[in-house]
Amino acid sequence: MKTTVRLDDSIAEVLIEADVLQDRVKELGARLSVLYKDSVPILVGVLKGAAPFLVDLMRAMPIPLQVEFMAVSSYGRNTQHSGVVRILMDLVVGIEGRDVLIVEDIVDTGLTLDYLRSYLENQNPRSLRIVALLDKVEARRVAVPLDYVGFQIPNEFVVGYGLDLAEQYRNLPYIGILKALAVAEALRS
Ligand code: 5GP
């Protein structure tokens, strides 16, 4: 008989439980709703990792807003940043004169956001802010001004709530650290 594979079995430690994540996202949504109460901000979600965060965040913001997406290159099948950032999918709307909020899943070296920030800044938005769910402060290689952060986390590779390893584990409702065996298997397959 075939045994069912459960994602939970690959997790060594749950770093942030699902209900804790949800509570914090609601708090961030409430604060951002006050900040943007007089404008219609554009939330720019960075695919694919920020998708669950963006969806929960926008539902915690009961104000008029617009949602757009960009995709940038990530680690691919590795857990180390290559240092090169590429835009895989660009915005399909203009942002000149608009209040823009970049919604990012995690800031590690800061290279991705540093690039994205200056790329969007060059398009002359009225304001440009960043909200990141997770911040690995110790891993930073370039300073990026983060306006709002959900949680500061240790310098560990994490998965879940949008974050992947080799495109898997995004559907976990919590943030966790993988068992070494699961990492080895994902990188091999
Ligand atoms: P940075 O450019 O700041 O080094 O990395 C940003 C991107 O790298 C994130 O948007 C995310 O896609 C990926 N990343 C960084 N740290 C982690 C991690 O711990 N786990 C996963 N799954 N992705 C990460």
Alpha carbon nearest to ligand 1 atom 8, residue: 74
Q: Is 187 part of any domain? A: no
What average pLDDT does range 123-148 have in this prediction? 96
Count Cα neighbours of 162 within 13 Å in the Cβ-side half-sphere: 21
Average predicted confidence (pLDDT) for the chain = 93
Helix (H, G, I), strand (E, B) or coil at 92: coil
The identity of residue 4, as a single letter, is T
Token pair of 89 as six digits: 């999918």
What confidence tens digit (pLDDT) does each residue in 106-126 have? 999 999 999 999 999 999 999
Q: Is 14 part of any domain? A: no
Instruction: Please give the share of the chain, as a percent, with pLDDT higher than 90.
Output: 83
State the distance from the centre of ligand 1 to the C-alpha of 108, rounded, in angstroms.
6
State the distance from the centre of ligand 1 to the C-alpha of 107, rounded, in angstroms.
6
Contacts of 33 by beta carbon, 8 Å cutoff, 6+ apart: 60, 61, 62, 63
State the distance from the centre of ligand 1 to the C-alpha of 159, rounded, in angstroms.
10
Residues found in the chain: 189
Contacts of 30 by beta carbon, 8 Å cutoff, 6+ apart: 60
What confidence tens digit (pLDDT) does each residue in 40-89 have? 999 999 999 999 999 999 999 999 999 999 999 855 545 566 667 889 99
Q: Give me the catalytic one of 99, 105, 108, 114.
A: 108
pLDDT band for position 13 (cuts 50, 70, 90): very high
Q: Is 172 part of any domain? A: no
What average pLDDT does range 19-43 have in this prediction? 97
Q: Is 9 part of any domain? A: no
Rounded CA separation 153/139 (Å): 10
The answer, yes or no, to whether any atom of ligand 1 lies below 6 A from the CB of 74, is yes
Instruction: Give the predicted TM-score (pTM) of the model.
Output: 0.94
As for how many domains the chain has, the answer is 1
**Residues spanned by the domain of 141:** 19-155
Tokens 């899943």 belong to 105
What confidence tens digit (pLDDT) does each residue in 160-176 have? 999 999 999 999 999 99
Domain CATH for 55: 3.40.50.2020
Nearest Cα to 12, choosing from 160, 166, 167, 188?
Answer: 160
